[in-house]
Every structure is written in C-alpha cells, then in structure tokens.
Structure 1
Amino acid sequence: MPKLFFLRPASFISARLCLMALLIVGLASCGKKVDLKDPKHYQKGPISFNYPANWSIDQEQADDDIQYIVIESPGSGLFVVQAHTSAYAMDLNDFAEWFSEEAAANMPIVKRSIGEFTPIEALPSKALKAGIAEDFSISLFGQQVPHKAAYYLAEEGDLHAFIITQYREDISTELAPGYKLIFDTLKVAPL
C-alpha cells in the first residue's frame, strides 16, 4: 500500500492530531447554525471551494506532491481533503478501509467501531468519481454515539483527491447546507 501524506514520519503527529480531532469534534455538542450569508473561499494549489463563514480550516499542510486540509464546523462536522499525485494513488475502497482502521487504532480514550462500507450512488459533486459510506459508532464510558462518514474520490489529470465527511448521525440535517456549499463549489484542477 502506498504511503499517504499523514503516514510520512514527519507528518505522523499531524495524523494523530487529525484523528483526535475527529474524535473530539464527533463527541462535541451541536454548534451554531451553518452560516451561508458570507462564505469564505479556499484556493491553494489545485483545490478550491467555498465554505461556511462560521467553519474553520483546522489543519492544512502541503508539499510538492500532497495537500491536506481539514475543515471543522462549530459542532461536530469535518470535511477533509487529501490531494496527491498519482504516485500515491490507491483505490477508494482500500483508502476508506485504511482510514477507518487508522482512526479506530489512534483513538486511545474511546472505542471507534469499523462500520460496513456501502457504495454511494448519488454523488454530491460533479468533481467526484466515486463514493463510499460508512456507519460507525464512537463509544465513551459505555455511551454509543452513532456517526456517519463518506469517502469520495476526485481525479483530474495526475491529481487524485480523497474527500472525507464525518459527523454525528443526529446532526446530519444541520450540517447538510455546509457540506452542500463545499461540494457545489469544489474544483479539482489537474497538476
């Protein structure tokens, strides 16, 4: 399996922080309503999109071959983009399973289940080629919190981008307008 951005030794700590952010954000209480009035714009390298004014870029790293962005909602939603050259390409199914296993292994305080993976038929953006959904739970002190994740693949020229959304199941309708804004404006340019 090719090494991806957050498996590189220099970036491994960032990976752990990102995975911990998935936990913390996933267990946090609901946040503010999605603010679509004056969206922010992200443009760096081959990736661009708009995102809600009250969401923030929590992590961002890039080098010559790879770009990694984590966008966080005020409550418990994440939107992750990991773009890289074809030298690091892998199958979407393999990526989704790998990411889920890594997330479960790197959450020391809680237990994250690994869910069933099912294909996503209706993709939320024309930039996407394929999608896989995962239903899983995060358990803390015996309390199960149902979550959903979706893994998508966008390809353009020599660029491969994995996009991940993750949220608590009970707030999916609250986050939907924010995810829609990002997907509607997502552009992946060839390298």
Structure 2
Amino acid sequence: MADRTKGTFFSSMPDYFTDSMVIEASNNLGRMMQMAAVKGLDPQSMSIRYDTFTVIAIPVDSEANLLILCEPGCNTSLMSTTANMLGPEIKKALEQASESDTKVSTSTPAKEEAEHNLFTQKTSQALISIKQALFDTVGPIADIVYNECVDRWTANHPPNVSRIFELVGCISTEIDNPELFAEFKEKISALL
C-alpha cells in the first residue's frame, strides 16, 4: 500500500524495491488514472507488465494506491477483482495505520526472513530463468509444472538459490521425456 504523504504500509516487497521506488510507481500509475478520469473514464485498476514482474495499481482513496507486484504472466483481472473485493478492509487498515502515523508490518520476523530469502535478486533471477527454460522446452504446460514444483519446493523451507537442485529434481520427475529434460537441463546449465 502506498500513500503519497505517509509512505508505504503493509509492504512485503522484495528488499530491492525501496520505499521510494514503490511511491514513484504509485505516483506514476496514479497520474495515469487521473488522466483517465479527466477523459471521463473511471478505472478500477491499472497494470504495467515488465519483463520480470507486473505491477497492478488499485486506487484506495485520493491519496493512496494499493500496489500488487506479481509474476509477469499473472491473471491481472483476477488479482484486481480480488483486491477490489477487499477494498473496505484495505481502507480500514490504511486509516488505522495513518492514525498511528507509523509504518505497520503484518509480518513476523520469521515470515519476513522467508520473504527476504524468496525474493533475493539471485534467487528471483534463477527462478525466472528456470521458468523460461521450462516454457521453451515443454510449452504452455510449463506453468502447471513450474507452479506445482515451486509449491513443493517451498513447502517446508524458504526458497534459496543454494537449494535450486531440489527444484530441478522436482521438475525432472514431471518431465517424462528424457530428451526434453536433457534440453531443459542444458538451458539452465549456468544455474547448476
């Protein structure tokens, strides 16, 4: 959540997304929504898709936007609809955070540590490379295989590039064709 005057609230963004980056993204998307309003449009959300992530902005009030950072191929309509359904709760949380005039964290130290490990730049880049190599190898089914294996991989331990072999092992059980797995493994050889 980004408020133009108070900063960020409830942020569990990766460390490399600083508060100033979040505020800048919020302000830019906010201006785009204001321009749409001038033209008589009333956008409920707006998204920008980058190579490594997608940012979805949802106006909460005149001074605050909810920013959602997700995978580049996410279903932005579903994310926006879900966030809009939570609108009243989000506004209430923002009001409570503004009243206390301090940054609020909903994460426990263990959860923050897990999120930090999940989103270290090296781990994030490795996951992006694996997903792309998998898609290049097996096509559209890659999303299903990737998501199932990442869920299993992160079930008991936070993801970390040092455990990438475990993820590749899971993927190997999902690719039945040895030639396809060899092709996939060659594409990610720099990670291994």
Higher helix share: 2
Short-chain TM bin: under 0.3
State which structure, 1 or 2, has the greater radius of gyration over its C-alpha atoms.
Answer: 2
TM-score by length of 2: 0.24
